[in-house]
Amino acid sequence: MENNCATAVFRILQEVLGNVARHSGASKVFANLGMEGGSMFLEVTDNGNGITPDQISAKGSTGILGMRQRAKVFGGEISVSGEAGKGTTVVVKVPMKIKESA
């Protein structure tokens, strides 16, 4: 299950980077991946156009919907925010079960 979760987070990262390339006009993208409070944490920020609330909630936003569905399968969540002319940030948090050593 953990491999599947890691793969889902990787696929979300691919989708985010694809959206940056297609829509943002960004010249820089920053990604941070780690563990925080028992959850896998991914934050991707760009310096592009900035996604609007209407774009985030648009019915045609199948990429965002797909990312949310991937995270939800593993009990995770995604937040997407943007500021006009200053960029977009996508934050993914997915709980991870850490194996106890014997």
Q: What is the CATH number of the domain that holds 34?
A: 3.30.565.10
Radius of gyration of the chain (CA): 14
For residue range 70-98, list pLDDT tens digits in order: 999 999 999 999 999 999 999 999 998 75
Does any domain span residue 101?
no
Instruction: For residue 53, give Cα distances in angstroms to 31, 79, 94.
Output: 22, 12, 23
For residue range 13-52, list pLDDT tens digits in order: 999 999 999 999 999 999 999 998 889 999 999 999 999 9
Instruction: For residue 60, give Cα distances in angstroms to 4, 49, 87.
Output: 27, 19, 21
Does any domain span residue 100?
no
pTM of the predicted structure, to 2 decimals: 0.88
Does any domain span residue 90?
yes
Does any domain span residue 89?
yes
Q: Which domain holds residue 47?
A: 2-95
The structural domain count of the chain equals: 1
Short-list 48, 66, 50, 75, CA closest to 11: 66
Distance CA 67, CA 48 (A): 20
Does any domain span residue 46?
yes
